[in-house]
Amino acid sequence: MSLEENISRIMELQNNLPREQSEALNKLLSNAPRWVLESTQIVKKEKNTIFVEENTPADTVYILVDGTVRAIDYRIRGVVYDYMWFHAIKVFGSMEIFFEIPLYMTTLKTVTDCTMLVMSRASFDRWIWDDKNALRMEIARIGDYLLEESRNERVILFLQGADRIIYLLTKSYEAKNPKDEYIVNISRQELAERSGFSIKTVNRSVQKLQQDGFIGRRGRRIVISRAQYDSMINYLEPIIAHEWEKI
């Protein structure tokens, strides 16, 4: 493929993305020199693909332009803890460059089929420091990520049982931002990984939430209406506020 064809493919991809994602990608790449696009490849990853592994050389940068990715931590005895989900547009590998860390700091796995723009660490490093617009965007994004990660970790730690599942379901609802009803596209196994609970505990918690009217069911799928989301938020607010007062 010629360089011109590669650039055309990237432009076509950008134009075919949903409006919000297209605008975000355009903003990130608005001042990127031609050689950046020439050295960038479009890569598709299937659902449930690990594309970054913790403590391996951080020699590639991935820009998620479509799909969802999760960060996972393999605990002692092989227990998986799923602590963060990411939606397009997100850059993976930039934090390691900014902090001058040679190895990836976490493991990343696709939740859905994903489309990414991929370039070498050297190319991204050369570009980002010369592009003030992209640099500001990445610094702001990383700052937001670190704050959100810290908050999520603390909230997850003090919420127990069904309350922790409620919190995760509200975060999932907010990420999708549905107009009305939200069909939760997360398996019980994934909920277990995100919460750090066993599948048995997750099943008990889901049953309790349904009995309490916080969620509905459609077959094996969890369904959340806007009213149910609001009820879960109202339920969690005093619990979280009380715990923050202790910190």
pLDDT digits (tens, 9 = 90+) for 82-91: 557 888 899 9
Percent of the chain exceeding pLDDT 70 equals 91
**pLDDT value at position 177?**
76
Average pLDDT over residues 191-210: 89
pTM value > 0.75: no
- Ordered by where they begin, the domains of the chain are 3-156 (2.60.120.10), 159-246 (1.10.10.10)
Which residues, in sequence order, are CB contacts of 172 under 8 Å at separation 6+?
85, 182, 184, 186
Residue 119 confidence class, pLDDT cut points 50, 70, 90: very high
pLDDT tens per residue, range 74-116 = 544 444 555 578 888 999 999 999 999 999 998 999 988 999 9
Average pLDDT, the chain: 87
Bridge partners of 61, per DSSP, are 119
Region of residue 117 (left: phi > 0; alpha: psi -120 to 50; beta: else): beta
Instruction: Output the CA–CA distances (angstroms, integers) from residue 129 to 9, 50, 65, 132, in the order listed.
Output: 25, 29, 22, 7
Q: For 59-63, 172-176, 207-211, which range has the lowest pLDDT when averaged over its residues?
A: 172-176
Place of tokens 């390691």: 96
Q: What is the mean pLDDT of residues 120-124?
A: 96
C-beta neighbour count of 44 within 10 angstroms: 12
Q: Give dist(CA 152, CA 131) in Å, integer.
A: 31
Model confidence over 171-198: pLDDT tens digits? 888 877 787 789 998 888 888 877 888 8
